[in-house]
Structure 1
């Protein structure tokens, strides 16, 4: 078998590398080691940087071997995959697992200075300064250049990605896949607290718009899902998160009111019925029944009340939180386009809980009980009511 043409001596190759022992298929140029990889669309092969000046000869052989075997062992992407197969990951909630998978994709596909993907970098090459620069880049954004696409400034996303990376690396240390956790000691980005709570006027306008467009036939121009108006009412009146609305079942309907089963350590509470809440609940039950009995499909209805979810997809299955979020974004964008509210009045679905806590009659303790918060500090983040106090009196 032909061994190919003998390499010519290159004086700029680092002196600690034995050039005669270099593996085939790896080359040195412009201060970095690279290989040629096939173009994604079948065109000419492209350069892919795999190591820098400090790389050892054994590292270069490992890179070539990994390419030949299609192995990513030791890379950040490999660590992510192993973490997602672990028991620790399986014990997480479904929503957290979905979030972590998105974070893994965002980190693994992050373009480095040379255009290579962060997921292909060896974990042992990732240092604390590298993680710090990564957090700062996502936090303050980045303009596009020759090798890297532009990134918007997203401090919140930067911190989410950092916390996922820190947890994954910590698991890697415990599992023997990492020697250390370079994410420890990294400073997180400063986030601007935004509640995006609707003004009373904006809430009423958007709710009326949701009822108007929800009454139109499905999949017609200008229509929106009929469940959005009832969801808005329940999220506001019972001070519920979106996921808490998605997991309401027939068992949560009590004679005295709606049993709000809360997340994130909050206490459950029962919100007494009012006319709007009764209408919203009945509308969702009627919608669910129509879907389950459509065209004589005989959908298998769960016998136990706690298994009959109130909010369902068109398929009849429970609605995922991601589906509700997507539907809400399309709807609120439509409301902006139709001039129902201005851009500065845009609010989030979670902002309805802020509005509900703020509008709760009573003192801070009453609002804390209504929201199910363990601490009055948390209630303070949801209660945006401006207290009216008396002036001091001279003695």
Structure 2
């Protein structure tokens, strides 16, 4: 019996299939940010407790359309966007496994994403200015200038991290946008100039303290870098810092007994577009009016 148990074939589970996928050339071709997001999905899916234990350890034969639908609905109660991302990863794992004949049936077929209403929160000036004040007092030197640049230039978080010395023009800041949006230039004003100069001065100080030379090409000289490594700060690190500043802002609001409404970093782009006078679509970089309206 012991011999038979030792030599019995391993029962496929979501955990084993997911890890197998992560060892393939298909996985290695994915963007690093996508890999990180999928690894986070893997963690949340596999540690979910079901009626018979952890979902990650459940034999693949017991995965059904109904099981995935229930997982999706339950996860959506805490975060609809994460529920959809995790469903996308489950679909990717099962589709890959089915294509390579590791499973005989793909239980994700027919399972649809949750419908999510577009976020329409407008960040009030008082809420923004209060968090900006707390950010300036925090240990994360780059959070407040990132907030200001994102708001004033109507930028995404990833676009702020893309900024280099090459974006600085005499007339303003050249914004190279992602996701198909048009590049444009935001003219300098005192607030934008102050935030930009702060990042440049701090960046230069960090490199000087580390005795680390500046990259020769302007497009390689990132403006927001890590004090610990001297390298470009990664998106996940900036998100973590923003999260901690948000928590500190909530605590400060409670201590001062003021009402403060939290907002996301992407809300700053929405606020920037809403507060823009003139052609909002041109300022936002959106190619269509429908994109800008959302």
When normalised by structure 1's length, the TM-score is 0.68
Displacement of 1:160 in angstroms is: 1.4
Relative distance call for 1:110 and 1:210 in structure 2 (3 A) is: closer
Say whether the 8 Å CA contact 1:100–1:164 is kept in structure 2. Answer: yes
Q: Distance in 2 between matches of 1:361 and 1:300?
A: 41
Q: Which residue of 1 aligns with 2:107?
A: 182
Say whether the 8 Å CA contact 1:336–1:343 is kept in structure 2. Answer: no
- Note if 1:291 corresponds to 2:210: no
Q: Which residue of 2 aligns with 1:311?
A: 224
Structure 1 or 2: more helix by fraction: 2
Say whether the 8 Å CA contact 1:239–1:371 is kept in structure 2. Answer: yes
The CA deviation string for residues 18-45 of structure 1, in whole angstroms up to 9 with x for no partner, is xxxxx559xxxxxxxxxxxxxxxxxxxx
Displacement of 1:342 in angstroms is: 4.8
Structure 1 stretches lacking a partner, 5+ long: 1-22, 26-60, 141-152, 214-222, 382-395
Say whether the 8 Å CA contact 2:134–2:245 is kept in structure 1. Answer: no
1:134 pairs with one of 37, 53, 71: 71
- Note if 1:324 corresponds to 2:247: no
Structure 2 stretches lacking a partner, 5+ long: none
SS at match of 1:259: strand
Say whether the 8 Å CA contact 1:196–1:348 is kept in structure 2. Answer: no
Relative distance call for 1:345 and 1:187 in structure 2 (3 A) is: same
The number of equivalent residue pairs is: 291
The CA deviation string for residues 85-110 of structure 1, in whole angstroms up to 9 with x for no partner, is 23332232222211100001111122
Greater Cα offset, 306-315 or 179-188: 179-188
Q: Distance in 2 between matches of 1:72 and 1:270?
A: 58
2:129 pairs with one of 175, 191, 204: 204
1:1-395 alignment, distance < 5 Å? 64-65=5-6, 74-114=12-52, 116-140=53-77, 153-211=78-136, 213=137, 223-294=138-209, 297-315=210-228, 316-339=230-253, 342=258, 345-362=261-278, 366-381=279-294
Relative distance call for 1:117 and 1:370 in structure 2 (3 A) is: same
Q: Distance in 1 between matches of 2:18 and 2:65?
A: 18
The CA deviation string for residues 129-188 of structure 1, in whole angstroms up to 9 with x for no partner, is 111111122123xxxxxxxxxxxx322221111111112222222233233321121133
Q: Distance in 2 between matches of 1:254 and 1:317?
A: 23
Q: Distance in 2 between matches of 1:203 and 1:154?
A: 24
SS at match of 2:185: strand
SS at match of 2:222: coil
SS at match of 2:49: coil
Relative distance call for 1:127 and 1:346 in structure 2 (3 A) is: same
Q: Distance in 2 between matches of 1:341 and 1:292?
A: 41
Q: Structure 1: which 4+ aligned runs deviate by more than 6 Å?
A: none
Relative distance call for 1:168 and 1:259 in structure 2 (3 A) is: farther
Relative distance call for 1:73 and 1:367 in structure 2 (3 A) is: farther
